[in-house]
Amino acid sequence: KAGVTQTPRYLIKTRGQQVTLSCSPISGHRSVSWYQQTPGQGLQFLFEYFSETQRNKGNFPGRFSGRQFSNSRSEMNVSTLELGDSALYLCASSLGLDSTYEQYFGPGTRLTVT
Amino acid sequence: AQSVTQLGSHVSVSEGALVLLRCNYSSSVPPYLFWYVQYPNQGLQLLLKYTSAATLVKGINDFEAEFKKSETSFHLTKPSAHMSDAAEYFCAVSDFSVGGTSYGKLTFGQGTILTVHP
């Protein structure tokens, strides 16, 4: 079974631009969670989607948004990029039926904002 | 809200030595706990999870962890370190609340970088 895939793997953007990252979950998984990883703040939860609905959201500004499609693929968008948005963005998929189900992570998208 | 503290940002061991990575959690309800490993330029790989079925949990690559409620700990161990174990390790707790469910959120510790020297 194929793992979680994320595209693109690397991205360089300029401050003020917007960016869209994509995540394809493991086949059969309906939950996709997104995390931001930085050296200073560590791993922080952005949001989670299940069956095209956002069920949970972390403490990030409204510039960070996401969506999920009927095939469970998910995208996250960051508008008006800031230098501090430079990070590794990880998505994780899960069966999502309850909190006991483990999450499987993709390789991440490395975003650099200049 | 749940939280996780990993004691020691860096741990160094000799090849063949015992690996012990410490994790303490804070939770007002029985937690679900996980250990993940991250190799450079990669995502996180699940090592093992605790979901109240058994206090001693065995994972991949001979790692195991013991849930101790009295100590609010979930330390990760491996009897004999290999060079390939060098990586960053994260302890995480699943976020949920009594009377409801907060889905899809893992709260991570700050990570412990394991170095294995010959």
Let me know: does A46 contact A23? Beta carbons within 8 Å.
Answer: no
Residue pLDDT, tens place only, A52-84: 999 889 999 999 999 999 999 999 999 999 999
Using H for helix, E for strand and C for coil, what is the string for A64-87?
Answer: EEEEECCCCCEEEEECCCCHHHCE
Find chain A residues with C-beta within 8 A of B34's C-beta.
102
Establish if B34 touches chain A: CB-CB under 8 angstroms.
Answer: yes
Establish if A111 touches chain B: CB-CB under 8 angstroms.
Answer: no
Q: Which two tokens stand for residue B25?
A: 């959690």
With an 8 Å Cβ cutoff, are B108 and A33 in contact?
no
For an interface test with A, give the residue of B23, B36, B44 to mutate (most A CBs within 10 A). Answer: B44
Nearest to A55 among B36, B51, B103 (CB): B103
With an 8 Å Cβ cutoff, are B43 and A42 in contact?
no
With an 8 Å Cβ cutoff, are A45 and B107 in contact?
yes
DSSP labels, A1-25: ----EEE-SEEEE-TT--EEEEEEP
Phi, then psi, of B104 in degrees rounded to 5: 70, 5
Q: What is each CA distance from A82 to A32, A33, A56, A89, in whole angstroms?
A: 25, 22, 24, 15
Please provide the average confidence, as pLDDT, over all residues in chain A.
94
Q: Which two tokens stand for residue A57?
A: 């959201």
Q: What is the model's pLDDT at position A100?
A: 67
Mean pLDDT of residues grouped by 10 in chain B (118 residues)?
90 98 86 93 93 88 94 96 97 69 82 97
With an 8 Å Cβ cutoff, are A90 and B44 in contact?
yes
Cα angle B27, B28, B34 (rounded to 5 degrees) comes to 30
Banded pLDDT at A19 (limits 50, 70, 90): very high
Nearest to A105 among B44, B103, B104 (CB): B44
Lowest mean pLDDT among A32-36, A85-89, B62-66, B104-108: B104-108
How far is B39 from B105, CA to CA, in rounded Å?
22
Q: How many helices (H) does chain B have, and how many strands (E)?
A: 0, 11
Nearest to B43 among A56, A102, A108 (CB): A108
Q: Indicate the DSSP class of residue A89.
A: E
Phi, then psi, of B50 in degrees rounded to 5: -115, 125
SS3 B62: helix
